[in-house]
């Protein structure tokens, strides 16, 4: 039933759960702790987002009964196909994926801001100050997948807004699971 044996109800739950996770204070604190342990500056924020999203992909895939030994890119593609499949029939999904997309962008922005603040307090000798690379991966994915989206970057290089991509299934691949799908194209 459904795409890859995933029901519409499970699809909705997947999006709801992922949105809640990206919005959680716990996820941000866990990622910041990891960044500080590695002495990661703002220039490495995108790598941390990719790593976080890869782990989330693995967990979400396992909950839905696929994943296992498959590479995270394969799991990401399957998750995106599930959403794309149901988005054609259920018009309530675009609003949910928009909210999820915003959550991922806010998470990336907050992470960069916190790492920058940490560096400004003298804790990041030699850390890169510029965060332009934090959004390069998003631009690259947009070009690779042919999405029509607009990224507005403030002088601090924090993502302020990203327009809604037209291809909803690939929107999920890009944003629902952060940037982990780009590992093979970066």
> Quick one: tokens of 99?
């909210």
CB-count burial class (<10 Å; 0-12, 13-18, 19+) for 5: exposed
Is 2 a member of any domain? no
Q: Please give the tally of structural domains in the chain.
A: 1
Is 3 a member of any domain? no
Is 106 a member of any domain? yes
> Quick one: tokens of 54?
């890869």
Is 100 a member of any domain? yes
Stretch (H or E) spanning 115: helix 93-118
pLDDT in tens, the chain (186 residues): 567 789 999 999 999 999 999 999 999 999 988 888 877 665 677 788 888 888 888 888 888 888 666 788 888 888 888 888 898 889 899 889 889 888 988 998 898 888 887 765 544 433 343 344 444 444 444 444 444 333 333 323 333 333 333 333 333 344 444 443 333 333
Whether the CA torsion 93, 71, 165, 48 is positive or negative: it is positive
Is 132 a member of any domain? yes
Domain enclosing residue 30, as ranges: 8-184
> Quick one: tokens of 128?
């890169």
Is 1 a member of any domain? no
How far from the centroid of its chain's Cα atoms is residue 26's Cα?
16
**Placement of tokens 């399957």 in the chain:** 78
């Amino acid at each position: 039933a459904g795409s890859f044996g995933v029901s519409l109800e499970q699809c909705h739950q997947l999006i709801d759960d992922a949105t809640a996770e990206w919005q959680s204070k716990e996820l941000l604190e866990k990622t910041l702790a990891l960044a500080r342990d590695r002495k990661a500056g703002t220039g490495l924020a995108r790598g941390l987002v990719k790593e976080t999203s890869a782990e989330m992909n693995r967990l979400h895939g396992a909950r839905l009964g696929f994943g296992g030994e498959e590479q995270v890119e394969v799991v990401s593609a399957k998750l995106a196909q599930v959403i794309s499949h149901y988005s054609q029939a259920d018009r309530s999904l675009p609003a949910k994926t928009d909210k999820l997309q915003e959550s991922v962008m806010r998470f990336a922005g907050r992470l960069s801001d916190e790492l920058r603040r940490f560096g400004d307090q003298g804790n990041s000798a030699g850390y890169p100050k510029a965060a332009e690379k934090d959004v390069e991966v998003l631009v690259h994915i947009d070009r690779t997948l042919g999405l029509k989206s607009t990224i507005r970057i403030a002088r601090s290089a924090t993502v302020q807004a990203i327009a809604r991509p037209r291809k909803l299934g690939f929107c999920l691949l890009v944003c629902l699971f952060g940037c982990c799908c780009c590992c093979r194209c970066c």
